[in-house]
């Protein structure tokens, strides 16, 4: 049976049996201020994912990666990951973002089922260039929280409301959430999703991020595994 899917401009695209891989038809999520753009297969070293493009009301381009059957009502291993160009793509040792992204994809691949939401809110919501400004202040001795405050931003300016239409689009309502940040659990609960488990992620401490991770634990409420301090 062939199944058709629509992109943003409503062009019908036949993906045939790839529907079983998780490609989903256009869903009317525009009422929430977001809209689905397109889906495609995305083969990676961790498995053949499906990439779903979601744009928010400001035009930011967010991404959901899914693997396996996830709309069956069972809890889904999920990572909500905010963009970090320096850590995700440039392998910076100043943070734990890159290792958490790769670990999440590995965990999903090993299980054969899961979802990763990639949110375009660099630098805890302040943007790439402001993150570099914050890094400069940290080089002078401020911690990650005080650096943001010194620049006139909140300690954490991220907004997780976009997760609601993203998760609704892929048919997921119950999460096994991969995070060391209890605030994400609270945010998902507030949006109406059930977090049945918080799965601890590696922090991968090194001399360049030790103070940063200590600040996240001491001032931002992050909870690390026993081996991460």
Cα 190 off chain centre by: 17
The answer to whether residues 64 and 52 touch, using CB atoms and an 8 Å cutoff, is: yes
Which of 120, 156, 174, 205 is flagged as catalytic? 156
> Which of these, 176, 84, 128, lies nearest to 184 by C-alpha position?
176
Tokens 């809209």 locate to 35
CA distance 148 to 121: 14
Q: Classify strands 174-178 and 194-199 as parallel, antiparallel or unpaired.
A: parallel
Q: Residue 42, SS3? A: strand
Please, how many CA atoms are within 13 Å of residue 219, restricted to the half-sphere of its CB?
A: 16
- Known catalytic residue: 158? yes
- Known catalytic residue: 156? yes
CA distance 152 to 125: 12
Contacts of 229 (CB under 8 A, 6+ apart): 203, 205, 213, 214, 217
Which of 24, 113, 133, 158 is flagged as catalytic? 158
SS3 content of the chain, % helix, strand, coil (to 5): 35, 25, 40
Which residues have a catalytic role annotated? 156, 158
């Amino acid at each position: 049976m062939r199944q058709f899917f629509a992109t943003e401009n409503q062009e019908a695209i036949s993906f045939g049996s790839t529907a079983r891989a998780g490609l989903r038809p256009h869903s009317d999520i525009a009422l929430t201020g977001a809209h689905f753009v397109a889906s495609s297969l995305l083969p990676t070293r961790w498995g053949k994912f499906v990439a779903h493009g979601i744009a928010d009301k400001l035009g930011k381009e967010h991404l959901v990666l899914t693997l396996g059957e996830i709309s069956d009502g069972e809890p889904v291993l999920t990572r909500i990951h905010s963009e970090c160009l320096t850590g995700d793509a440039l392998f910076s040792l100043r943070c734990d973002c890159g290792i958490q992204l790769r670990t999440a994809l590995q965990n999903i691949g090993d299980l054969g089922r899961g979802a990763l939401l990639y949110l375009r809110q660099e630098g805890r919501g302040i943007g790439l260039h402001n993150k570099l400004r914050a890094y400069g202040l940290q080089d002078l001795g401020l911690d990650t929280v005080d650096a943001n405050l010194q620049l006139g931003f909140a300690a954490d300016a991220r907004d997780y409301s976009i997760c609601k239409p993203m998760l609704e689009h892929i048919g997921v309502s119950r999460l096994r959430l991969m995070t060391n940040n209890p605030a994400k659990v609270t945010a998902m609960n507030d949006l109406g999703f059930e977090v049945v488990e918080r799965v601890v992620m590696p922090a991968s401490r090194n001399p360049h991020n030790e103070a940063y991770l200590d600040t996240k634990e001491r001032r931002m409420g992050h909870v690390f595994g026993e081996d991460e301090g």
